[in-house]
Amino acid sequence: MAAAGEWNRMQARTRAGNGERASDAAMLAALQRESAWFEARTRVKGWTRERFGLGPGDLVEAGEAASELPGCPPRETRVEFWTAGGARHHFKVFKPLDAVTEDDIPPAWLRDALAVPEGLECDCC
C-alpha cells in the first residue's frame, strides 16, 4: 500500500499545465530519458578514465551545464578528474552529454595542460 501512495504522490507532482495527471507512459518516458543520461555519463567517465590512465582510486565526474550566453552551445558537457596526488583536471565538450563520443575526449598527451593550478578559482568548469 505504501508503494501505491508514493506513486500517487509522484503523479501529483508531475501534473501537466492543464492540471491533468501525467500518464503512466509519460512518467515511464521520463525515467527512460534519465536512465539514458546516466548511461551516457558512465560512458564518458569510462572513456576519460581509460584515455588518461586513471586508477581505481582516482575520482572522475561528468555532468552537463546549460548556457544562455550568445555564441555558446545551449548545453555542454563538463568533465573533471582528480589524480592520486590530488591534482584536479578538467575539460569541456561543447555538446550535450548524450552526444559525446570517445573521439571528443582530449588526447592523453594533453593531460598536464588540463590540470588546474592550486589556488586558481575557475568557474568555467
Query: What value does the mean pLDDT of the chain take?
Result: 82
For residues 48 and 81, the answer to whether their CB atoms sit within 8 Å is yes
Identify whether 123 is part of a domain. Answer: no
Cell of 19: 492540471
Residues in the chain: 125
- Which range of residues forms the domain containing residue 32? 2-13+22-114
45: which residues sit within 8 A by CB, 6+ positions away?
Answer: 60, 61, 62, 79
Higher pLDDT, 6 or 61: 61
Span 21-50, average pLDDT: 82
DSSP state of 69: S
* pLDDT of res. 84: 83
Instruction: Name the strand (E) or helix (H) holding 88.
Output: strand 88-93
Least confident of 23-32, 53-62, 107-116: 23-32
Identify whether 122 is part of a domain. Answer: no
How many domains, in total, are found in the chain? 1
Taking 80 as the threshold, does the pLDDT of residue 65 lie above it?
yes
